[in-house]
Amino acid sequence: MAELRNLVIVLGDQLDPDAAAFDGFQAGRDAVWMAEAAEESTHVWSSKPRTVMFLAAMRHFALTLGEAGRRLHYTRLDSRDAGDTLAAQLRHDVRRLQPVRLVITTPGDWRVLQAIKEVAATSELPLEVREDRHFYCSLPEFAAHANARKSLRMEYFYREQRRRHRVLMTDDANGIRPVGGRWNFDAENRKAFGPNGPGAVPRPVTFEPDPVTRDVIALVNSRFAGHPGRLEDFAWPVTRAQALHSLNAFIEERLPLFGRYQDAMWPGNPWLYHSHLSAALNLKLLNPREVVAAAEAAYEDGRAPLASVEGFVRQILGWREYVRGIYWTQMPEYLERNALGAREDLPAWYWTGATDMACLRDALTQTLTHGYANHIQRLMVTGLYALMLGVQPGQVHAWYLAVYVDAVEWVELPNTLGMSQYADDGVMGSKPYVATGKYIQRMSPYCRNCRYDPAQRIGDRACPFTTLYWDFLMRHEAALSKNPRMALQVRNAARLTGAERNAVRRRADAIRRGEAGVERHE
């Protein structure tokens, strides 16, 4: 048999036939390597929807590689000689296939990159790690941006990206300026629904599992039977064609109202005007440039208002690129950050949704059913509660990485540890996102059907968010008082009398001990 030159490693979140790892691929000399390793579903307690998302998309991608005539070595989770870890499988296959070189596009997970480097080193094989050009901003470009600044705020990075990639920019006699004369349309965006609710939101496109996906569902149900989440409603796009279909439907049907209702929540309605494209993007079924271009074109043709389009572009060209840069410039130390010294365990009901808090129950239930929650549910419901309860950031991170179909560490970790838990001491955000239950009351009708009252901070009906908010300010008073953006909140807490402070503390302790009835026993 002819010598195998390059063994091109393709991971579960690298399903792009145009990825850099394929550059120079020669059918007769090179081969692709893919493997389904149990460890990827067990190193955190990966939910069933998340595992199915990855495996179903991988198997469909493998079929397209076959159709394109690319030689492929693919190990299924249920094959007899499957290794438990990616590293074990790769080591085994390298010994068998004897390639001259390993080639990979930068993985989305620092841990996986280390494991592959280790296999290459112990097998005495050269490993070529190629830049992931799926992203607008390369890692060296982000590092240069970071090095030139004292603090790394998303807004400046985003403006730089807009200018550099000429997205929503006009160029006339007055120079290059943002379309509409402003960078930010928050004043028009981020509204709550009125009392009549979201009305007839277009239904998101769903995809009936085909035989390939059904096989994966059966496998995951038997192999990971005890893992969280359900699969009855699995309907995510797992091929590029399906992902494109989802993109087009979003642009036509939901983008016009995306901005206005970006931060709104509504019970029993997980989808609203969001795009639900994060998993397709993160698995590389979609390219961010085509997504941004489709949104920009909708604005130019008058199909969507500028405020919505800018709000959406900001998420992809701004936040998504920025968190990736944060991840790779801060790892591996970032994983260990715990700036607020949080020590509590994550409540067990995060894995079941069994709580009397209406907002959390809904966010957790839809998370476990669909592997999805919108950004505000992640940040201002599940994340906010964990932050104010004082849960160890590592446990919060493991939960977010496990439950969402779009969860890959490069994007999940900075959002969780940095933006949501403030464990990085302000690398990502200038202050912790903390609020009483009144924020949730303003953005949703959850509180109307909840046994708690967001206006009360003590007593049996006190909303746990509200109690924990005051407790958080008191516990971190010294550190937060140095932050000018928190000064007002800290001053308000300082006005509480000694008796009020003690009552808040006692109620917060009771919540932490699980004695305030927040856990629902069916």
Binding site for ligand SF4 (CB under 6 A): 357-359, 437, 440-441, 446-447, 450, 452, 454, 463-465
Query: Which residue reads 């035989």 in tokens?
Result: 211
- For position 242 contacting ligand FAD by CB under 6 A, the verdict is no
Instruction: Examine residue 274 and tell whether it contacts ligand FAD (CB under 6 A).
Output: yes
- Residue 421's nearest CA partner among 340, 508, 335, 334 is 340
The binder of 358, among ligand SF4, ligand FAD, none, by C-beta within 5 to 8 A per type, is: ligand SF4
Find the binding residues for ligand FAD in span 406-445 (CB under 6 A). Answer: 406-407, 411-412, 415-416, 419-420
Q: Which residues, 6 or more positions from 145, have their beta carbon under 8 angstroms from its beta carbon?
A: 137, 157, 160, 325
CB of 445 to ligand SF4, least distance (A): 9
Long-range contacts of 150-158 (CB under 8 A, 24+ apart): 151/426, 151/430, 152/322, 152/326, 152/427, 152/428, 153/430, 154/318, 154/319, 154/322, 154/428, 155/183, 155/184, 155/318, 157/318, 157/321, 157/322, 157/325, 158/183, 158/314, 158/317, 158/318, 158/319, 158/322
* Cα–Cα dist 416/378, whole Å: 9
| Pair 385, 360: CB distance under 8 Å | yes
Q: Which amino acid is at 394?
A: G
- Shorter beta-carbon distance to ligand FAD: residue 111 or 505: 111
Binding partner of residue 281 among ligand FAD, ligand SF4, none, CB under 5 to 8 Å per kind? ligand FAD
Q: What are phi and psi of 405, to 5 degrees?
A: -65, -20
The β-bridge relationship of strands 101-105 and 6-9 is: parallel
259 versus 464: smaller Cβ distance to ligand SF4: 464
Q: Which is nearer to ligand SF4, 339 or 447 (CB)?
A: 447
Residue with tokens 């953006």: 485
* Residue 161 sits in the site that holds ligand FAD (CB under 6 A): no
Q: Which does 16 bind (CB under 5 to 8 A by kind): ligand SF4, ligand FAD, none?
A: none
Alpha carbon separation from 481 to 154, 473, 476, 478, 500 (Å, rounded): 24, 9, 8, 5, 20
The torsion angle over the Cα atoms of residues 21, 26, 27 and 29, rounded to 10 degrees, is -100
Of 129, 281, 434, 486, which lies in the binding site for ligand FAD, with binding defined by CB under 6 A?
281
Pick from ligand SF4, ligand FAD, none: which does 406 bind, CB < 5 to 8 A by kind?
Answer: ligand FAD
Contact call for residues 180 and 186 (beta carbons, < 8 A): no
Query: Which stretch, 21-29, 168-176, 372-380, 463-471, contacts ligand FAD (CB under 6 A)?
Result: 372-380
Residues 214, 216, 219, 223: is their CA dihedral positive or negative? negative
Binder among 92, 101, 230, 375 for ligand FAD (CB under 6 A)? 375
Q: Does 389 bind ligand FAD (CB under 6 A)?
A: no
Of positions 400, 422, 439, 446, contacts ligand FAD by CB under 6 A: 400
Q: Which does 369 bind (CB under 5 to 8 A by kind): ligand SF4, ligand FAD, none?
A: none
Q: Residue 119: CA atoms inside 13 Å, Cβ hemisphere, count?
A: 25
Closest among 324, 411, 325, 316 to 146, alpha carbons compared: 325
- Binding map of ligand FAD across residues 303-322, x = CB under 6 A, - = no contact: ---------x--xx--xx--
Nearest distance from C-beta of residue 378 to ligand FAD, angstroms: 4
Nearer to ligand SF4, 313 or 463 (CB): 463
Closest CA to 311 of 434, 135, 187: 187
| Binding footprint of ligand FAD, residue count (CB under 6 A) | 28
Q: Is residue 283 a contact residue for ligand FAD (CB under 6 A)?
A: no
Task: Assign 3-class secondary structure to 268-290.
Answer: CCCCCCCCCCHHHHHCCCCCHHH
The single residue among 47, 85, 282, 367 that binds ligand FAD, judged by CB under 6 A, is: 282
The distance of closest approach from Cβ of residue 241 to ligand FAD in the complex, given in angstroms and rounded to an integer, is: 18
Among 404, 446, 469, 470, which residue sits at the site for ligand FAD (rule: CB under 6 A)? Answer: 404
Q: Decide whether 353 or 464 has the Cβ nearer to ligand SF4.
A: 464
- Whole-number minimum distance, CB 325 to ligand FAD, in Å? 11
**Which residues of this protein are in contact with ligand FAD, per CB under 6 A?**
274-278, 281-282, 312, 315-316, 319-320, 323, 374-375, 378-379, 383, 400, 404, 406-407, 411-412, 415-416, 419-420
